[in-house]
Amino acid sequence: MYPSRFRYEAPRTLDEALALLAEHGDEAKILAGGQSLVPMMKLRFAAPGVLVDINNVAGLGFHEETPGGGLRVGALCRHVDLEHSTVLPGAQPTMAAAAPLVADPIVRTRGTLVGSLCHADPQGDWASVMLALGGSVVAASRRGRRTIPVGEFVVGTFQNALEHDEIAVEAVVPAAQGVRSGSYLKLERRVGDFATAGVAVALESVSGEIVRAGIALTGVGPATIAATEAAQALVGSTLDPDVVDRAAELAAAVARPRTDHRGTADYKRHVVATFVRRILTAERAPAGAAA
């Protein structure tokens, strides 16, 4: 467990951090929470020449509501901040459901949502949640800023769309078109284990009718999977049982799980359908009552 030799930089401002990235290019790696990067370095799966620790950069630890039910999450906002957030409950039900399920309490004290998106592990929880919510990532470099939808940000297994000189400085949840509901369910063999399968559902409804829906899948493919057709099947509905069943089938159909020590491919696909059904069935009760 002895990492390769590396240079350590701890800039105090974002400009300094961006300058270091501009200087070192693909040799450099950003250290935020370090909960994936540091273990990979200790195993020598990752051997960055320069580690740019942004933990001393002020103003990145925030998460705040934006008008119309949106949310901004800074690059140093820890999982634990979201778990204990007063902003999420009610306003962001899918995120609020996922926050206590991320990794384990020890990892949650250090790890960050933005770091989880950047790591692009298909078993990461936040990528599914943000994908279901239609979220995006703001990338900064000395050349300026750009906003990348999560669906384009995660480009493959452990691959994101950042250029070598860019830092992901925040994640953004857009304003809602209706009342938010939804949840996140994850099957894990043990607290802190990577997901066997996970399902994020983000719904927006007006008078009980779904006006926007997002469904995304964790751990059942080479990258986080958007179950677009399944989500589309919900729009215009009031989550009647046949619609729920249809969405569950469609979501399971786009899953591309592999048989491994967490379960067979058939089983994981079945869990996806079960979780979609469970989330939507639970959501139907309050929605139906409001109608």
Partner 1 sequence: MTATAEPAAGSRALDEVKIGGLGSSRPRVEDARFIRGRGNYVEDVTLPGMLHMEILRSPLAHARIKSIDTSAAWAIPGVKLVLTGEMAAQRNLAWMPTLSYDTQAVLATDKVRFQGQEVACVVAEDPYIAKDACDAIVVEYEALPPIVNPEQAVAPGAPLIRDDKSGQADNIAYQWEVGDKDGTDAAFAKADVVSKLRLHYPRSHPSPIENCGAVADFNNATGKLTVYMTSQAPHIVRAAVALIAELPEHLIRIISPDVGGGFGNKVPVYPGYVCAILCSILTAKPVKWIEDNTGNLSSTGFGRDMYLDSEMALTNDGKILAVRYHATTDQGAFFADAQPTKFKIGLVHSSFACYDVPVGHITAQGMYTNKAPGGVAYRCSFRVTEAMFFQERMIQAAADDLGMDQAEFRRRNLVRDDQFPYRTPFGFLTDSGQYLKCLQIGLDAIGYDDFLVEQAEARKQGRLLGIGISTMTEPLGAGNSREYDILGIKMFDSAELRVHPTGKAVLKIGAQTQGQGHETTFAQIVTHELGIPATDIVVEHGDTDHTPFGMGTYASRSTPVAGAATAMVARKIRAKARKLAAHLLEVSEEDVEWELGRFFVRGAESRGVTIQECAMAAYSNMPDGMEPGLENNAYYDPPNLTWPFACYIATVEVDPETGVWDVLRFVGVDDCGVRINPMIVEGQIMGGLTEAYAMSNMQFQTYDADGNLVGANYMDYLLPTAWETPGFELHEVVTPSPHHPIGAKGVGECAAVGGPAAYVNAVMNALRPTGVRNIDMPLLPDRVWHAAHTGQDVSGAPPFRTE
Strands 225-226 and 7-9: unpaired
Beta pairing partners, 29: 51
DSSP 181-235: EEEEEEE-SSTTSPPSEEEEEEEEEETTEEEEEEEEEESSSSS-EE-HHHHHTTT
Q: How far apart are CA 186 and CA 200, in angstroms?
A: 9
Beta pairing partners, 225: 217
8 A C-beta contact, residue 60 and residue 33: no
Packing angle of the helix pair 241-254, 265-290 (nearest 10 deg): 150
Q: Which is nearer to partner 1, 141 or 274 (CB)?
A: 274
Q: Which is nearer to partner 1, 161 or 185 (CB)?
A: 185
Nearest-approach distance from CB 206 to partner 1, in angstroms: 31
Q: How far apart are CA 219 and CA 246, in angstroms?
A: 21
Nearest-approach distance from CB 278 to partner 1, in angstroms: 8
Nearest-approach distance from CB 35 to partner 1, in angstroms: 12
Q: Which is nearer to partner 1, 68 or 190 (CB)?
A: 190
Interface residues toward partner 1, by CB under 8 A: 1-5, 43-44, 104, 187, 189-194, 196, 258-268, 270-271, 274
Q: How far apart are CA 108 and CA 101, in angstroms?
A: 9
Q: How far apart are CA 109 and CA 79, in angstroms?
A: 6
- Residue 253 burial (C-beta neighbours within 10 Å; 0-12, 13-18, 19+): middle
Nearest-approach distance from CB 194 to partner 1, in angstroms: 7
Nearest-approach distance from CB 83 to partner 1, in angstroms: 14
Q: Which is nearer to partner 1, 45 or 62 (CB)?
A: 45
Q: Which is nearer to partner 1, 103 or 254 (CB)?
A: 103
Q: Which is nearer to partner 1, 39 or 156 (CB)?
A: 39
Nearest-approach distance from CB 267 to partner 1, in angstroms: 4
Q: Which is nearer to partner 1, 111 or 135 (CB)?
A: 111
Q: How far apart are CA 201 and CA 214, in angstroms?
A: 6
Nearest-approach distance from CB 190 to partner 1, in angstroms: 5
